[in-house]
Amino acid sequence: MGQPYPPSRSARGRRPLGGLRRGLAVVAGLLALTGGLVAVGPRASAAGLTQVTGFGTNPGNLTMHAYVPDGLATGAPLVVALHGCTQSASDYYAKSGWPKFADRYGFALVLPQTTSANNSNSCFNWFDSADSTRGQGEALSIRQMVDKAVSLYGSDPRRVYITGLSAGAGMTADMLAAYPDVFAGGSIDSGLPAYCATSVSAAYTCMYSPPNKTPAQWGDLVRSAAPAGTTAWPRVAIWQGTSDTTVAPANATELRDQWTNVWGIGQAPTRTESLSGDTTLSEYADASGKPAVRVYSVSGMAHGLAVDPGSGPEQCGATGTYYLDTICSSYHTARFWGLDGGGGGQTPGGLPAPAGLTVGGTTDTSVSLSWTAVTGASSYEVYRGGARVGTTTSASYTDAGLATATTYAYTVAAVDTAGAVGAVSSPVSATTTGHPPTCSTANNYQHVAAGRAYQSGGQTYATGSGQAMGLYNTFVTHTLKQTAPGYYVVADAGC
């Protein structure tokens, strides 16, 4: 993880960061880097880290890597882990400790990776609104990876979590703000408040001396990034070393202010606890008494991810550059989210998963679903690609407004009379009908030879529409758009 220091700054072990998006030197590359156990022993797994392709349009130019324990059950949680600057998915996989708990607790792990093609230091561009805003750039690529994982592994779309280190932590904060409907929880390790910076110069300020905004001002940045009307927010863990000179410890305070304000709770902890590794836990509970925000302050730790190599149940990871031997942050974060079954995170209600989810029919723009009714259900939530798209009181639902000739993954869950959402069903896939518009530019002779056009009396006409295209020869060129099987229209003005 190259550090985001300006050339004028120097310190032991530091080197100038350089890394602006798409090649300009951007110091802000980020941050330069940017209880009781369930009675289930660690499971040996022959699985390994693999690359997954075809996860979407990928506007952020990222690659997707995944680790899935052998025999992973349908409906298991999903954790997304973002590396720091100069790191990679495989590096984070090998040293962060997350695979150990994926095996122990049973969840899929997705590790997005950026490269020097995006940022010269291979940092996630947390400070660039073109990459950190909902529906854009790297943020959308990560969202598409979640959809792909839910479809491939049958992950529970209500138990998706995200964590990251340094630059990855900055992007994690942005993702939690932009996609609170996707992530049930997050962990920001040596990171910054969501949308603290939207430029390289502002990134410097955030890293070394974050703005002292009020909790409401920080909270407003999250609320303005989230979908309008959002009322449910992710539970957030904040990890910070007190001797971090790359990302000032004051960032942890601003992060606390931001997320407690979003939750509508105060900035005084409801309890504190001393943990191993000279770590102090400060907890902030919601109105029901459940922890909503936790701050883990590691005394004397510099910039990096807290790990604790060893085979003990609370140990994990491996030391290395920006992997610091203090305490296993992954273990404590997993338990905070409830991945150990201890109830710390958002877990399903008591109703079973609906059985028999099937696709009843499709049109060019809709998919009809049905399933077996669940006793005790007052309604059902329907999820497309991991995101809730509708609620119904019957055991059927039609999802409309879809793209033509596109495949979607669906799951459904029952809701009891108290509003608790039960276990999610096994996924099904459905493909809308119609023909995806495709375009071809060629001369008239080539169009006719390919069947996209025909000739009559020395003139050329588009197949299906019959639109005139001029002389039948190699000197006249057109673009034809196929809008249905065997039907083409002239699209010279743009396709």
Active-site amino acid positions: 166
Q: How far apart are CA 359 and CA 249, in angstroms?
A: 52
Identity of residue 362:
T
Residues linked to residue 164 through DSSP beta bridges, in sequence order? 82, 188
**Inter-residue contact 366 to 351 (CB < 8 Å):** no
Q: How far apart are CA 122 and CA 88, in angstroms?
A: 8
Tokens 């409801």, located at residue: 270
**Could you tell me the two tokens for 143?**
């969202």
Phi, psi of 485 (to 5 degrees): -55, 125
Q: How far apart are CA 91 and CA 98, in angstroms?
A: 12
**Could you tell me the two tokens for 57?**
């349009």
For residue 373, how many other CB atoms are within 10 A of its CB? 15
Closest to 162 measured CA to CA, from 151, 148, 177? 177
Q: How far apart are CA 32 and CA 169, in angstroms?
A: 11
Residue 12: partners with Cβ closer than 8 Å, 6 or more residues away: none
Of the chain, the end-to-end C-alpha distance in Å amounts to 42
What is the DSSP secondary-structure string of 25-53? --GGGSTTT--PPPS-PPPP-----EEE-
Q: Are strands 459-462 and 453-456 parallel, antiparallel or unpaired?
A: antiparallel
Three-class secondary structure assignment of 302-368: CCCEEEECCCCCCCECCCECCEEECCCHHHHHHHHCCCCCCCCCCCCCCCCCCCCCEEEEECCCCEE
Closest to 321 measured CA to CA, from 2, 29, 93? 2
Q: How far apart are CA 107 and CA 109, in angstroms?
A: 7
**Inter-residue contact 157 to 387 (CB < 8 Å):** yes
Q: How far apart are CA 364 and CA 362, in angstroms?
A: 7
Q: How far apart are CA 100 and CA 329, in angstroms?
A: 12
**Could you tell me the two tokens for 217?**
């001002």
